[in-house]
Chain A
Amino acid sequence: AQSVTQLDSHVSVSEGTPVLLRCNYSSSYSPSLFWYVQHPNKGLQLLLKYTSAATLVKGINGFEAEFKKSETSFHLTKPSAHMSDAAEYFCVVSVWIKTSYDKVIFGPGTSLSVIP
């Protein structure tokens, strides 16, 4: 079975300091992993995805994530937070099994606040 755990429901950082949003997953198959961002009253936007190529994945807006199979983790990082990064972040695990819908699992989300 697949599952996603986002270890922090809320993270607060100061502008210009590093961001770390933690995600652990469980999957019986080789997963694809994603991070999405949701700004208030908006839909989700894909930040980055891991699909079994390079374990360090670079995304948009300076974010990156590292796939660590031994730790079953896919943490999202950014060296320096910007005010515009304040949003909700979702970690997602996806396993492509034809005809099976329920292999896309969204985590519960982490709310990121950025303090000026």
Chain B
Amino acid sequence: NAGVTQTPKFQVLKTGQSMTLQCAQDMNHNSMYWYRQDPGMGLRLIYYSASEGTTDKGEVPNGYNVSRLNKREFSLRLESAAPSQTSVYFCASSEEGQFQPQHFGDGTRLSIL
């Protein structure tokens, strides 16, 4: 009964380092999303993937790249981390045709020094 699984749960980086956040879902959902959550700002969409093989920018895509590796997996990459990217990152998925995330992972807490 895993749902959406994110790894790692916590990470500390130095400015300029790169890393990839992993996300996998086992519900056969077509749509997947990456959000960041900052205090007092709700969630903001970074990138989304409506289906395997497609990705599109969200509200705050700068500094990030994504890969929809297959139907299950959707990764988020920070090429050169900046302190402004310190946040909690959530991956989510939804059924086809419903453009709202219904299932969320538990988040990755990322600190950039």
Chain A residues proximal to chain B, CB less than 8 Å:
4, 9, 32, 34, 41-46, 49, 90, 92, 94, 96, 99, 101-109
Distance (whole angstroms) from the CB of B78 to the closest CB of chain A: 20
Which residues on A sit within 8 Å (CB–CB) of B74? Answer: none
Which residues on A sit within 8 Å (CB–CB) of B40? Answer: 9, 108-109
Are B59 and A43 in contact, CB atoms less than 8 angstroms apart? no
Which residues on B sit within 8 Å (CB–CB) of A96? Answer: 99
Interface size of B in residues (CB-CB distance below 8 Å)? 22
Say whether, besides A34-B100, A101-B59, A43 and B107 are in contact (CB < 8 Å): yes
B43 on the interface (CB 8 Å rule)?
A: yes
Interface residues of B in 38-90 (CB under 8 A from A): 40-45, 48, 56-59, 90
Are A106 and B42 in contact, CB atoms less than 8 angstroms apart? yes
8 CB < 8 A contacts A-B: A34-B100, A92-B100, A96-B99, A99-B56, A104-B99, A104-B101, A106-B44, A108-B40
Are A43 and B100 in contact, CB atoms less than 8 angstroms apart? no
Are A43 and B42 in contact, CB atoms less than 8 angstroms apart? no
Are A41 and B104 in contact, CB atoms less than 8 angstroms apart? no
Leading 8 A-B pairs by shortest Cβ distance:
A43-B104, A106-B42, A106-B43, A44-B104, A94-B100, A108-B42, A43-B106, A101-B58
Which residues on B sit within 8 Å (CB–CB) of A108? Answer: 40-42
Say whether, besides A106-B42, A106-B43, A109-B42, A43 and B90 are in contact (CB < 8 Å): yes
Are A42 and B106 in contact, CB atoms less than 8 angstroms apart? yes
Distance (whole angstroms) from the CB of B67 to the closest CB of chain A: 18
Which residues on A sit within 8 Å (CB–CB) of B104? Answer: 43-45
A32 to B94, CA, bound (A): 15
A108 to B90, CA, bound (A): 16
Question: Which residue of B45, B56, B107 contacts A104 across the interface (Cβ within 8 Å)?
Answer: B45
Are A102 and B45 in contact, CB atoms less than 8 angstroms apart? yes
Question: Which residue of A41, A92, A109 contacts B106 across the interface (Cβ within 8 Å)?
Answer: A41
